[in-house]
Amino acid sequence: MKQHKLMGAIAFSGALALALAGCASDSGNNGGEGEGDGASTVTGADYNPQPRENLQEGGEVIFPISDIPTQLNAFHGDGSSNTARIAAWYMPQVMLQDVDGTPYKNDAYLDEWKIEEVDGNTQITFTFTEEAHWNDGTDMDWKSIEATWLANRSYDEGFTPNATDGYKSITSVEQGDTPKTAIVTFDGIFAWPEMPFLTGIVHPALADPAVFNEAFIDNLNPQYGAGPYTVTDFDLNGGEVTLEPNPEWWGNAPLLDKVTWRQLDTTAAINAFKNGEIDQVETQSADSLAQVADMEGVVTYRAQSTATALLEVDSEKPNLSDVKVREALFTALNREQVKEVVWNGLDYTEEPAGSLTLFSFQPGYVDALAETGREDGNVEKAKELLDEAGWVEGEDGVREKDGEKLTVVFPVHGDSATVENRGKVIQQQLNEVGFDVQLEIRPSADFSDDYTSKNWDMMFLAFTSSDPFGAAWFCQLYCSDSGLNLSGTGTPEMDERIHSEVESLPTAEEQTAAAMELETEIFQSWGIIPMYNGPFIVTAKEGLANLTPESYVGLDLFGVLPVENVGWEK
């Protein structure tokens, strides 16, 4: 996981997560109650923030979700942003974040969260409250911090974490004056002291690689959770998760009597919302907005997205192993045409997305993709590159080499017409230069499994960001053992450069500048490029407040808000 709240492989252990790429954005800005005014920009958060005293006790909410991933451990490399969305409702939110990403401790869990320099090393002190405990009765103490570190510090100890950034810089986790206090010590001064453990902690049982890697496969394990809600039913075949108030919870009482996540494709979700069967739905295309336009008692919210849609190719597939072929593919790609399809009928524009490390509104942002010299939709150059790579155009227009056609499998997940049309325009662009693009329409429920098993040659997806720390998660994006970026273009040599040229620098500002420069070079391995950002748009029943409190993409920008405060206005 990566910086702010983002889209696309996983959960609490890093800032970036894998997500199914949404189809569109909208024309409105964020008004006081989500009412758009027809402007062409969307900025900030828009989530109907309300204090608890304005909300009623009781009621139920049903949220749609595009898929319930097989891997339900939010720290595991095979998890996705949907893994994290579900986990946020029954796993401990030890740290919370303001909408700008500023972290602060959750007083229900922590009496103390202190960052200081001790003997030339960054040190973080966590002191848990006396009441804090896991659902199985295990005390929440320094062992929980230690377990989180052990599970996420390396890929060489049997664990498969989503990211090791931050954790790998820690030299020790020790007990303080009492078991309730953990002392975390880094090797020297750590440039991002607010980042580690920001997205959560794990039960001490997960310090065992077998439990960490396997226990959460098709299993939510509520006994390893802690929070205002707990899982009371998980219908795997029906694609539904039910949560109710947790009798083990010691903090502010949750406002809702029941929360349900229901797996629905795009069309089914819109129909369910129109029929009053769910309480909120993403409306990120002109068609979906039109379908809810005449509904009474609903509000559309528009917020700045902290996600980047991207196109990725698998360099380990034979037809894409040659860097010139991959460069030809990305050179033929016309991103502006893709955006025209995605935003058809919407008065929305944005600057080209040029980085997976930072968003254009962040300090230090550079359009790293533009710095490569890449020209959008340069058909002639793409053909020249394929000629140089030895791929010859056949009578049917498809390139061939050594008796093999230049075929790539391109799955498209979901039943949205906009998503399918987006796939078709990319298919047409690449067919023009000689690729045989096999477009396959697949259920959105297959997305996470397809991605992590690399059941694709080319994939359109999104990375969603949970915090604003950008370069702190650079290795999660581009190191060769990344569980997020599966393009296969990382190398041990680049891993060493990421460490020596980015991670070793003493300040966040220096690391950010170095990451932006190195990202341009990494893009030229042509395994992955950003496509667009766009806003995040949701239509909800009127009165539903404090929306999208989970990490990653949502209406609250980088916010991570207490799930117990989601509820209905009085």
Res. 348: pLDDT tops 50 = yes
pLDDT value for 284: 85
- End-to-end Cα separation, the chain, in angstroms: 36
Q: What average pLDDT does this structure show over 140-160?
A: 97
pLDDT value for 108: 98
DSSP of 337-366: HHHHHHTTT-----PPP--SSS-TTSTT--
Question: What distance in Å separates the CA atoms of residue 567 and residue 570, rounded to the nearest whole number?
Answer: 9
- pLDDT-derived band at 552 (thresholds 50, 70, 90) equals confident
* pLDDT averaged over every residue in the chain: 91
Question: What distance in Å separates the CA atoms of residue 569 and residue 560, rounded to the nearest whole number?
Answer: 20
Res. 6: pLDDT tops 90 = no
* 466 within a domain of the structure (yes/no): yes
C-beta neighbour count of 506 within 10 angstroms = 11
Determine the longest span between alpha carbons in the chain, in angstroms. 77
* 489 within a domain of the structure (yes/no): yes
Of 51-65, 190-204, 345-359, 508-522, the range with the lowest mean pLDDT is 345-359
Question: What distance in Å separates the CA atoms of residue 142 and residue 147, rounded to the nearest whole number?
Answer: 9
The dihedral through the CA atoms of 504, 506, 510, 516 has a sign that is positive
The dihedrals phi and psi of 69, each to the nearest 5 degrees, come to -60, 155
The domain that holds 497 is classified in CATH as 3.10.105.10
Q: What average pLDDT does this structure show over 249-258?
A: 98
Percent of the chain with pLDDT over 70: 93
Long-range contacts of 362-371 (CB under 8 A, 24+ apart): 362/468, 362/470, 363/512, 364/470, 364/509, 364/512, 364/513, 364/516, 365/516, 366/516, 366/517, 366/519, 366/520, 368/516, 368/517, 368/519, 368/520, 368/523, 369/520, 369/523, 369/529, 369/530, 371/520
* 180 within a domain of the structure (yes/no): no
What's the domain range around 351?
A: 307-532
pLDDT value for 70: 94
* 511 within a domain of the structure (yes/no): yes
- pLDDT-derived band at 466 (thresholds 50, 70, 90) equals confident
What tens digit of pLDDT does each residue of 451-464 get?
A: 989 999 999 999 98
pLDDT value for 252: 98
Q: How many domains does the chain have?
A: 1
* 47 within a domain of the structure (yes/no): no
pLDDT value for 15: 62
Contact between residue 108 and residue 132 where contact means Cβ atoms under 8 Å apart: yes
Residue with the bigger pLDDT between 219 and 482: it is 219
Q: What average pLDDT does this structure show over 529-543?
A: 94
What tens digit of pLDDT does each residue of 486-506 get?
A: 999 999 999 999 999 999 999
Question: What distance in Å separates the CA atoms of residue 74 and residue 85, rounded to the nearest whole number?
Answer: 9
Res. 2: pLDDT tops 50 = no
> Quick check: helix, strand or coil at residue 55?
strand
Question: What distance in Å separates the CA atoms of residue 297 and residue 496, rounded to the nearest whole number?
Answer: 55
Packing angle, helices 417-431 and 323-332, rounded to 10: 120
pLDDT value for 497: 98
Residue with the bigger pLDDT between 226 and 349: it is 226
Question: What distance in Å separates the CA atoms of residue 248 and residue 536, rounded to the nearest whole number?
Answer: 34
Res. 124: pLDDT tops 70 = yes
Instruction: For 90-123, give one letter per residue: b (16+ CB within 10 A) or e.
Output: bbbbbbbbebebebebbebbbeebeeeeeeebbb
- pLDDT-derived band at 445 (thresholds 50, 70, 90) equals confident
Closest to 372 in 3D by CA, of 532, 527, 534? 527
Maximum mean pLDDT: which of 21-35, 159-173, 241-255, 339-353 = 241-255
Res. 193: pLDDT tops 60 = yes
Closest to 268 in 3D by CA, of 565, 62, 65, 493? 65
β-bridge mates for residue 262, sequence order: 64, 240
Number of Cα atoms under 13 Å in the Cβ half of residue 407: 8
Packing angle, helices 379-388 and 323-332, rounded to 10: 170
Q: What average pLDDT does this structure show over 235-247?
A: 96
Res. 435: pLDDT tops 80 = yes
* 381 within a domain of the structure (yes/no): yes
- pLDDT-derived band at 1 (thresholds 50, 70, 90) equals very low
* CA-only gyration radius of the chain, Å: 23
Q: What average pLDDT does this structure show over 234-252?
A: 97
Question: What distance in Å separates the CA atoms of residue 124 and residue 112, rounded to the nearest whole number?
Answer: 10
Res. 27: pLDDT tops 70 = no
β-bridge mates for residue 530, sequence order: 310
* 234 within a domain of the structure (yes/no): no
pLDDT value for 4: 30
The dihedral through the CA atoms of 516, 559, 149, 194 has a sign that is positive
Question: What distance in Å separates the CA atoms of residue 33 and residue 17, rounded to the nearest whole number?
Answer: 28
Question: What distance in Å separates the CA atoms of residue 34 and residue 54, rounded to the nearest whole number?
Answer: 18
Res. 3: pLDDT tops 80 = no
The dihedrals phi and psi of 202, each to the nearest 5 degrees, come to -120, 155
Contact between residue 548 and residue 555 where contact means Cβ atoms under 8 Å apart: yes
Cα angle, residue 341 at apex, residues 340 and 344 outer, rounded to 5° = 75
- Take residue 496 and report the two structure tokens written for it: 């060493």
Q: Which residues lie closer than 8 Å to 533 by C-beta, 6 or more apart? A: 305, 307, 308, 309, 350, 353, 359, 360
pLDDT value for 14: 46
> Quick check: helix, strand or coil at residue 256?
coil
Question: What distance in Å separates the CA atoms of residue 146 and residue 113, rounded to the nearest whole number?
Answer: 15
Determine which helix (DSSP H) or strand (DSSP E) holds 272, and give its type and residue range: helix 266-274
* 463 within a domain of the structure (yes/no): yes
DSSP of 439-463: EEEE-GGGHHHHHHTT--SEEEEEE
The dihedrals phi and psi of 393, each to the nearest 5 degrees, come to -70, 130
Q: What average pLDDT does this structure show over 394-398?
A: 96
Res. 418: pLDDT tops 70 = yes
What tens digit of pLDDT does each residue of 36-48 get?
A: 333 346 788 999 9
Q: What average pLDDT does this structure show over 556-563?
A: 95
